[in-house]
Amino acid sequence: MNQAIPRPLRRLAAAWGLQIGYYDIQRVWREPSQEAILATLKALGSGLERIEDVPNALKAKQEALWGRPLEPGIPCLENESVRIRIRLPKGLPKGSLVFEVQEETGASRKIELSYEALRPLSAEQTPYAPPLYAITLPLRLSAGYHTLKLELGDQEYTAHLFCSPKRAFVHEAWRELGLFLPLYALHSKKSMGVGDFGDLEQFVQFAMDHGANVIGLLPLTSSFVEGPLFSPSPYSPVSRQFLNPAFIDIAQIQELNASKEAMKRFQDPAFWASVQALNEDPLVDYRRAMALKRSVLEPLAEAYFQRGDLAGIETFLRERPRANEFALFMAALEALGLGFRRWPERMKSGRLCPGDVPPKAFRYHLFSQWQAFRQLRALCEQTKAKNGAIYLDLPVGVNPDGFDAWAYQGCFVEGLSIGAPPDTFFMLGQNWGFMPPHPEKTRELGHLDFIETIRTNLELAGVLRLDHVMGLHRLFVIPSGFEAKDGMYLRYPYEELYPILAIESHRAKSMLVGEDLGTVSGYMRKAMERTGLQRMYCLLAEIRPDPEHALPDPIEDALASLGTHDMPTFASFLEALDIQERVALGYLSKEKAPEELESRQRLTQSLRNFLEARGLLQGDGLETFLLAALKFLAQSQARILLVNLEDLWLERAFQNMPGTGDERPNWRRKAALSLEQIKTDPRVLGVLKKLAGLRKEGRNL
């Protein structure tokens, strides 16, 4: 333990939810420097400037906590008694306690209880704090978001009640087969440089025709695919509540024929010559693709607003009231050419007016969001009606210059970034550049941003994957100006976040998958099991060098796959092409490469022996090896088997290498086969037929 960190500073850090020490991947205890702790506490709002301020800051924090009779958030279960903890000021006259519950439906009721109903929590009392009690309110609530008020003298205190089912929604009988491919990588004769919702419709139909009822995608959330802050990564979203306009299928827009200007551009031979050039490029060029789409979308938007019949977009705004703000934000960003922190004071503080932005740009962004939601929602509803599901991915963070960071400024911590501690692959740790949510401020607001984000995504997705699900419990945060190795963990009120997931998943009848790969605490996985979140089982990450125990069997509450978008494809893993690329890029020294290659060979041989012993692998060749590994997963009880379509033609290139940037084409590589080729490829069809049969047998057990 680092004795240089004074005890009062440790106590202050704990009061703010900071876990300043942790065991790294090699089970070595690490602690950040005193300076990093001070910087983190300052960013959280502790009022610290120097170490001498700690005693006063600790006193102020304790008084703030002790002066709050009710916690800001209180979880409870539907149709069960509401148990709460309450802290009462010393010397308060012992009359009755008057509570008022305001239900989500608008109904209200008052409850009056005597002090005899209080039960002292003796083990949790502290000498200087007001006494702490437990009390049970004699009411049972339906699932939803309610408000609890307490009158004490002339003061009124409020708490948010998160009343939920015991577990998130789960399709208990599912033993489904799914296909995965990033939407940007899909391409057909009808594409315009990037896969779109029209291509997705074809992909969904193909998948379901061949027994795959889950269609997996990377995030479809909005990214900076045009404009001055260009950053197309799907994991650095402008907003997790709005969609990427790059995926709009222009040909499916119902209003296309109503605009002469738009049709003129859409039918121009020069336009289609540019489209053809984009389609022939093996990489997605987002800027050029968006320039072409915008050249049609802008006149479409103008024609729509000029006609005056705005019923469609008005319905959209009632469903997505923040869409107006989003369009204003995007238009302002384009007009000013700057991140919002450099805007004029009123505008950067979260308030925009129509007069602040070019009207044409505002109408374009609003119209584009309407069309994107319209197309994706229709497709998702059609898929659900056929007992299938679109599988979406929710990024853990948001772009610090994006809409969510601007619209929910009070909910994020300026001066901190989310990242990861040092591990085997990243010896110095990782800094992802995303601001973490503020645990206390989001609680005070009833986790409004989290609720709206989860609700929006679950309305579209039949299955939603939560990236870095450990973030429900804690996030590794790094203060500005420090290296990733100087970070520490910040705790979150998971007791309030799990109920939100349960409420929203049941309302949408959609399942949740938590990305629990890598270093994840045991209590996290127990919490997932208890609350119905499906775990992830990635075969390539599970292999051990002992052939007899090379792979554990996937559990029932899991999504099973060979790998993820952040891992090499099956063929490249077996051939160690990812190791070669890391050496070529300078991320792995030539001296350490032989050790990595030897380790990979041991894992590969262990997997081969394991599959042979189970009677799944008979013969040589990559195709035989691939089919054996997929059969192992298909025969398991995992609720979903998600197959990367690219593995079926033994793709060697992979979509993303974590920790890299512009030096490789992350998030841009198109699939080697077009949709037309995929539909007739004998390798793809042959494997899908076998897997669909095995999954069907599992459903009938």
| Contact status, residue 399 vs residue 237, Cβ threshold 8 Å | yes
Would residue 90 count as lying in a domain?
yes
Instruction: Report the distance separating Cα 186 and Cα 601, nearest Å.
Output: 33
Structure-block tokens of residue 92: 């308060």
- The Cβ-side half-sphere exposure at 550, using a 13 Å CA radius, reads 21
Instruction: Report the distance separating Cα 304 and Cα 300, nearest Å.
Output: 6
| Contact status, residue 673 vs residue 440, Cβ threshold 8 Å | no
Would residue 89 count as lying in a domain?
yes
By CB atoms closer than 10 A (0-12, 13-18, 19+), residue 552 is: exposed
Q: How far is CA 386 from CA 211, 214, 383, 499, 697, in A?
A: 12, 11, 5, 29, 20
pLDDT of the residue at 320: 95
Q: φ, ψ for residue 581 (rounded to 5)?
A: -70, -40
Residue ranges for the chain with pLDDT beneath 70: 1-3, 93, 424-425, 699-701
User: What's the CATH number where 104 sits?
Assistant: 2.60.40.10
Q: φ, ψ for residue 595 (rounded to 5)?
A: -65, -45
Would residue 284 count as lying in a domain?
no
pLDDT digits (tens, 9 = 90+) for 184-237: 999 999 999 999 999 999 999 999 999 999 999 999 999 999 988 999 999 999
Instruction: Report the distance separating Cα 357 and Cα 359, nearest Å.
Output: 6
Q: How far is CA 330 from CA 57, 224, 298, 334, 340, in A?
A: 39, 10, 14, 6, 10
Would residue 658 count as lying in a domain?
no
Would residue 133 count as lying in a domain?
yes
Please tell me the pTM assigned to this model: 0.95
pLDDT of the residue at 479: 97
Would residue 239 count as lying in a domain?
no
**Domain range holding 110?**
74-164
Structure-block tokens of residue 48: 């610290």
Instruction: Report the distance separating Cα 254 and Cα 237, nearest Å.
Output: 27
Would residue 85 count as lying in a domain?
yes
Tally of domains within the chain: 1
pLDDT digits (tens, 9 = 90+) for 390-445: 999 999 999 999 999 999 998 999 999 999 887 766 777 889 999 999 999 999 99
Q: How far is CA 264 from CA 290, 295, 574, in A?
A: 18, 11, 51
pLDDT of the residue at 1: 43
Would residue 339 count as lying in a domain?
no
Instruction: Report the distance separating Cα 426 and Cα 659, nearest Å.
Output: 8
